[in-house]
């Protein structure tokens, strides 16, 4: 067969490498935030997640998307979602790595930091399946508000076994959980929820209610149980709703949860997000009647941490792909990575990625030290700050990284074009669990409580005196916070708090080339309005070398 040309100057894909060993910013963040942490598990996980086999599972899970089956062939209602086997392989890996409920068992040093690092690494492989993993992490401690449910479900929520089948709890070695909060008319304003809860009686799991209504976003509907919000006589309350009812209500009986349809989403394709209706579904009260919103806020804090971790992981993956491509692709006589303008873009992306990693892992540290008053305040302040800023930067970051690949980055071709998948995924974490305005307002609420301003000053203090731009910003923040009379500038404040904390962390953990360039650009004004506009005095080569995925 005659050929018209030879294919050359096409980079080999980034595959079969260790995601943890090659991530120096993450390793340095772990050393700073959890110096006693044993990282053997992360080394092993990094090798698995960077393998060609796991990358194939990620591709297939996104190509062969979930399929809803409301009825079986005999007309019986089943409300099941069918996934490709690769989805289950990914779930087994995530659960087996303890990325769900295991930190609440407290069996390792710095369990939340360890889990956060693993969550970031897994996001580089495939973020969609982490939705049920993240929700299981967030809802597990809330179940302490119902002693009977917690006794039966607690250990299985931390189990390293994954069982996708809908079957009675006693027949399952491990379980996952989801959440159902938003409704058509309310969105983030859950106080507008209309779903009703009517008390039926009590049993081994406490006060039982019949739930009638709907949820507009009900992600991962094949989870074994959910925490939902519904209106009880005392007000909006939190309820535990299993997909399969307990044995004393009829072994194997499905709860009255009807899946109406699956969402057709921009990204997050491997995960099933659904709309559901409850037709007198059985659910059990968690906590006190009328206290649903405070409980949801506690759970939201943890899922917001995962939004920051997830976007940081996606940034790292996009950066790695861009570095891998530009190191091999030649243009105008030399590799792209040696072209001065490309160096500027790559170094700028590397700064953004490292700053995101530093802030996300710092936030995870606060969850490990909740008995410490300062860490408790930092969790309250940095959760909305990190989610707002890191997630807000994600889409811009992904677009610039895609541009490093040119047309090759825009083309998917059977799911092999990972950069396009990253780009579609990026907006999700900014929207999910409270969009930007919600986060900025949450920061304002946090700053008005306790000694929050003093705590922020204490957080920045170790980095003072080393970067003039950071000192100026740190000096100005207390007065700005005190003078914040309206919500109008809340987004700008959230941005500047995030940048100040990121700069302080990089001063303490990163090489001088990274900290100097970050402070000069993000705080000192030596920067344009797009990536790739760092000043000419930047040590581009050192920053790029540190970020290399090989």
Distance CA 54, CA 303 (A): 25
User: If we measure between CA atoms, which residue out of 487, 479, 489 comes closest to residue 453?
Assistant: 479
User: If we measure between CA atoms, which residue out of 46, 14, 55 comes closest to residue 117?
Assistant: 46
**Dihedrals phi, psi of 334, to nearest 5 degrees:** -160, 165
Three-state secondary structure of 50-90? CCHHHHHHHHHHHHCCCEEEEECCCCCEEEEEECCHHHHHH
Strands, DSSP E only, in 204-356? 206-219, 225-232, 235-242, 257-262, 273-286, 330-331, 334-335
**Of all helices (H) and strands (E), which one includes residue 199?**
strand 196-203
pLDDT tens by residue, the chain, 550 residues: 568 999 999 999 999 999 999 999 999 999 999 999 999 999 999 999 999 999 999 999 999 999 999 999 999 999 999 999 999 999 999 999 999 988 998 777 899 999 999 999 999 999 999 999 999 999 999 999 999 999 999 999 999 999 999 999 999 999 999 999 989 997 778 889 999 999 999 999 999 999 999 999 998 999 999 999 999 999 999 999 999 999 999 888 999 999 999 999 999 999 999 999 999 999 999 999 999 988 888 888 889 999 999 999 999 999 999 999 999 999 999 999 999 999 999 999 999 999 999 999 999 999 999 899 999 999 999 999 999 999 999 999 999 999 999 998 998 887 678 999 999 999 999 998 889 999 999 999 999 877 889 999 999 999 999 999 999 999 999 999 988 878 999 999 999 999 999 999 999 999 999 999 999 999 999 999 999 999 999 999 999 999 999 8
Quote the pTM value: 0.96
Contact 327, 274 (CB under 8 A): no
Contact 196, 212 (CB under 8 A): yes
């Amino acid at each position: 067969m005659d050929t018209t040309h030879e294919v050359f100057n096409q980079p080999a894909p980034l595959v079969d490498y260790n995601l943890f060993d090659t991530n120096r910013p993450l390793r340095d963040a772990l050393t700073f935030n959890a110096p006693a942490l044993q990282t053997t598990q992360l080394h092993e996980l990094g090798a698995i997640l960077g393998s060609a086999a796991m990358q194939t599972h990620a591709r297939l899970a996104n190509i062969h998307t979930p399929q809803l089956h409301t009825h079986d062939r005999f007309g019986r209602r089943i409300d099941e979602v069918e996934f490709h086997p690769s989805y289950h392989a990914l779930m087994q890996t995530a659960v087996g790595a303890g990325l769900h409920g295991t930190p609440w068992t407290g069996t390792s040093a710095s369990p939340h930091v360890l889990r956060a690092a693993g969550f970031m690494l897994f996001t580089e492989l495939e973020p969609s399946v982490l939705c049920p993993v993240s929700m299981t992490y967030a809802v597990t401690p809330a179940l302490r508000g119902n002693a009977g449910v917690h006794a039966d479900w607690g250990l299985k929520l931390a189990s390293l076994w994954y069982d996708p089948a809908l079957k009675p709890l006693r027949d399952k070695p491990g379980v996952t959980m989801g959440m159902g909060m938003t409704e058509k008319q309310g969105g983030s304003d859950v106080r507008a929820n209309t779903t009703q809860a009517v008390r039926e009686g009590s049993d081994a799991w406490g006060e039982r209610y019949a739930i009638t209504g709907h949820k507009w976003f009900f992600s991962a509907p094949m989870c074994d149980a959910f925490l939902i919000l519904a209106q009880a006589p005392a007000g909006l309350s939190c309820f535990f709703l299993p997909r399969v009812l307990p044995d004393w209500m009829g072994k194997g009986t499905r709860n009255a949860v009807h899946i109406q349809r699956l969402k057709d989403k921009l990204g997050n394709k491997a995960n099933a997000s659904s709309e559901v209706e409850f037709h007198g579904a059985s659910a059990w009260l968690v906590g006190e009647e009328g206290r649903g919103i405070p409980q949801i806020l506690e759970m939201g804090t943890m899922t917001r941490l995962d939004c920051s971790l997830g976007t940081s992981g996606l940034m790292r993956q996009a950066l790695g792909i861009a570095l891998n491509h530009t190191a091999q692709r030649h243009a105008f006589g030399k590799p792209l990575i040696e072209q001065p303008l490309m160096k500027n873009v790559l170094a700028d992306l590397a700064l953004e990625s490292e700053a995101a990693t530093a802030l996300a892992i710092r936030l995870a540290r606060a969850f490990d030290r909740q008995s410490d008053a300062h860490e408790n305040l930092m969790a309250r302040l940095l959760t909305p700050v990190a989610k707002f800023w890191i997630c807000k930067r994600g889409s811009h970051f992904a677009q610039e990284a895609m541009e490093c690949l040119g047309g090759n980055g825009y083309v998917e071709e059977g799911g092999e074009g990972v950069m396009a998948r990253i780009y579609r995924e990026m907006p999700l974490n900014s929207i999910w669990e409270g969009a930007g305005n919600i986060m900025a307002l949450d920061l304002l609420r946090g700053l008005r409580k306790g000694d929050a301003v003093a705590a922020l000053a204490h957080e920045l203090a170790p980095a003072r005196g080393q970067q003039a731009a950071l000192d100026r910003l740190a000096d100005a923040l207390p007065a700005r916070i005190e003078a914040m009379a309206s919500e109008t500038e809340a987004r700008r404040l959230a941005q500047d708090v995030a940048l100040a904390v990121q700069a302080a962390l990089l001063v303490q953990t990163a090489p001088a080339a990274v900290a100097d360039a970050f402070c000069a650009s993000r705080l000192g004004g030596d920067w344009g309005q797009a990536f790739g506009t760092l000043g000419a005095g930047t040590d581009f080569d050192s920053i790029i070398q540190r970020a290399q995925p090989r």
